Amino acid sequence: MKTSLLGVKLSQDNHIVLARQQAREVAGLLGFDSHDQTRIATAVSEVARDILNHTGSGEIEFSVEGQEPEQLFIVLVKSKGIGISDIKSSVGKKERPLAGLDGIDAARRLMEQFQIEQEPDGRTTVTLRKRIPHSSSKTQLDLAKISSEIARRTPKDPVEEIRQQNLELVSVLEALRHREYELTTLNQELEDTNRGVVALYAELEERAEYLKKAHEIKSRSLSEMSHELRTPINSIIAITRILLDRTDGDLTEEQEKQLGFIKSASQNLSELINNLLDLSKIEAGKTKVQATHFEVRNLFGALRSMLKPLLYGQPVDLVFEDPDGIPTIFSDEGKVSQILRNLVSNAIKFTEHGEVRVSTFLMDETQTVTFGVFDSGIGIAPEHKDLIFEEFGQVEGPLQSRFKGTGLGLPLARKLAEMLGGTISCECRPEGGSVFWFTLPVQYGEVDLAKAEAPIRTELDTMRRSVLVVEDDPATLFAYEGYLRRTAFQVIPARSVAEARELLRSVRPAAIVLDILLPDGDGWGFLSEIKHDKGTMNIPVLICSVVDEPGKAMVLGAQDYCTKPIPKEWILEKLTNLVPAAKILVIDDDPAAQYVLKKVLTGTMYSVIEASDGEEGLRLAQEEQPDIICLDLIMPGMNGFETLRLLKLDPATSHIPVIIVTSKNLDEEERRQLGQGAISILQKEGVSRMAAMEKIKEALIRVPLK
């Protein structure tokens, strides 16, 4: 429902002042605050000035539309007799300023809704709308009272209006000054905070780098001190054994007791040093896997002989179940033996009576062997299951106090298992005791728990740029997938150098993201291989790795380098700069068609440039040099037939493929004429505009890009 409040004529300059007064008064009676009153009054006076200057006369109507609480205040400004000349070409283009109509342009920015129309009789109509606050919504009776109130009021003197306008200007300037002061204060606070954060980050990075270097020096030093640390301990144990064997004469009872303490302490110290050195060698990367083929049955026999002395004097049985059905394993037998020896010796140590049982299971679906070490000992509390795998982590208890350990055996066993591609875990048994599970791939280097899942198969999306990501860590691959989802880029994953080589035989990626530490090869070598192959040398490569050698990456031909973890913004920025989007120029006077095409191509390799008529389309085709042009036929001014002809005549645009998209029913002659310059002709299918856009998408797939 629309309720008219007031009408104002426009024929003299003083009517502009009157329109401003009336607009402010109506806005005030409708409940707008002083700031909105000023905006409305200014918008009305600016539109009135342009209408009066360009047409000579007009009229203004103030009204309210809608029911409470959803009501709109509407100001309709119409010219009389004639309209504003050449306004038709600017109607509907909200982003483009109207030549010579600065007042109307200003009003467009001041009001919530703005519309300018050219009536059939030639008159120009400007409509301004602003939502009335819910708290100030009016009934029909209220609106009638407001209309009567305005009609009774006497217009103010123009000088008084100018004074009021000056007061409003002073108020606005004061508000702007206050806001500027607040922004200055806030910026200063932000700068101070940023300086503090930068200083904190610098300090944290410095400390992290110091700790990293200290850890590396410690690991390297310990791994290189094997001989210096082990030799004196072994000498003490050997000499103690000579003395206890009475090679140089008898010993008193007290001397034998003392030498027993020395031997026990030396053996404990030797175990500690051996475990510590083994851990340091793993951390320093100096431990290598020596894989060979071996039988579990033979391994169990060797372990039974080695561990039998530990059972002396204890009512504990050690049982190795027959490994029936377990295939030959290809792995490091020495490290597998070390892991099982550690698990079984711990089980014997903390079992006062009962048995320790070792069994094996084959998991066909993952091609892994699981060793289970069961005991009937004191067990492990659930809260301590993580502690026992921490370095120097030990559980306090009566039995533990009698059998002091190093606290390094289980952490070392877990690291060795991980080197072999396996895992170690433990659990408490309901009937008492505990069980340790050691899972190992049957074939080292071929099967690994992280790869036990089905191989990744990615269906290529021809509307997106493919990015070959060579990364063996599933979590990092998942992160890349998340980063590039709903973008113009599609992840093509490869978990090894071999898989990447295979993919490059069938896929031409727009870019490559390469890790350096890969399971089956050196990333540096693969980068060099890419850059020396004529078929791949022009593909940009981004190195993303924990290895911090950006200089080497650049020398070998990489476009950029980043150490893990990789920020999302970094990878998107680099790919966008290295692989620019293809450009589509859409020449169509229908804004809805342009909008739908933009939505259809969101997240693809294409960016859309818009032109609403043939003249603008020709200009943009020359300036932007798009990869493809989608051209409508029925447009105001220059139609699509003429636009296509001029595009193909111009040497600067003749090479650009053109797709005709039209709702016009074409006869055979028109189709023949268009077929000489366009690569495809698509019909808009009535209201099913999305179906037409899908056809455009299919046509784009067939267009070769530059």
Q: Residues 253-286: pLDDT tens digits? A: 888 888 888 877 776 676 666 666 666 666 656 5
Check pLDDT > 60 for residue 58: yes
Task: Kindly report which listed range (62-76, 96-110, 334-348) carries the lowest average pLDDT score.
Answer: 96-110
At residue 160, the pLDDT reads: 64
At 52, is the pLDDT very low, low, confident or very high (cuts 50, 70, 90)? confident
The span from the CA of 614 to the CA of 621, in Å, is 10
Q: Average pLDDT for residues 544-558, to the nearest whole number?
A: 85
Element containing residue 338 per DSSP (H, E): helix 333-349
Residue 330 has pLDDT above 50, yes or no: yes
What is the predicted pLDDT for the residue at 365? 67
> Considering only 156-160, 443-447, 482-486, 524-528, which range has the smallest mean pLDDT?
156-160
- Class of residue 526 by CB neighbours under 10 A (exposed 0-12, middle 13-18, buried 19+): buried
Classified by CATH at the fold level, domain 582-701 comes out as Rossmann fold (3.40.50)
630 versus 290: the higher-pLDDT residue is 630
Query: How would you classify the pairing of strands 511-514 and 680-683?
Result: unpaired
| pLDDT computed for residue 403 by the predictor | 46
Q: Tell me the C-alpha distance between 563 and 555, whole Å.
A: 17
Q: Give the pLDDT mean for 619-647.
A: 89
Does residue 694 carry a pLDDT above 70?
no
CATH T-level assignment (fold) for domain 2-155: Heat Shock Protein 90 (3.30.565)
- The beta strand positions in 454-567, using DSSP E, are 465-470, 489-494, 511-514, 517-518, 521-522, 541-545, 560-563
pLDDT tens for 570-593 read 998 899 888 877 788 889 888 877
Residue 124 has pLDDT above 80, yes or no: yes
What is the fold, at CATH topology level, of the domain defined by 292-441?
Heat Shock Protein 90 (3.30.565)
d(C-alpha 598, C-alpha 491), whole Å: 23
Closest by CA position to 499, among listed 479, 478, 526, 470: 470
- Would you state the pLDDT for residue 467? 92
Q: Please check the confidence at residue 611 and state whether its pLDDT lies above 70.
A: yes
Q: Which residue has the higher pLDDT, 496 or 174?
A: 496
* Helical axes 253-283 vs 158-224, angle rounded to 10°: 140
* pLDDT for position 91: 47
pLDDT digit string (tens) for 648-659?
Answer: 999 999 988 888
Of the pLDDT bands very low, low, confident and very high (cuts 50, 70, 90), residue 688 is very low
Confidence of residue 128 (pLDDT cuts 50, 70, 90): very high
The two tokens of residue 227 are 């001989």
Comparing 662 with 95, the larger pLDDT belongs to: 662
Sheet strand arrangement including 113-118: 2-10, 58-65, 72-79, 124-131, 113-118
Answer CATH for 455-574 from 3.40.50.2300, 3.30.950.10, 3.40.50.300, 3.20.20.10:
3.40.50.2300
Q: Is the pTM here over 0.95, yes or no?
A: no
Pairing label, strands 354-363, 368-375: antiparallel
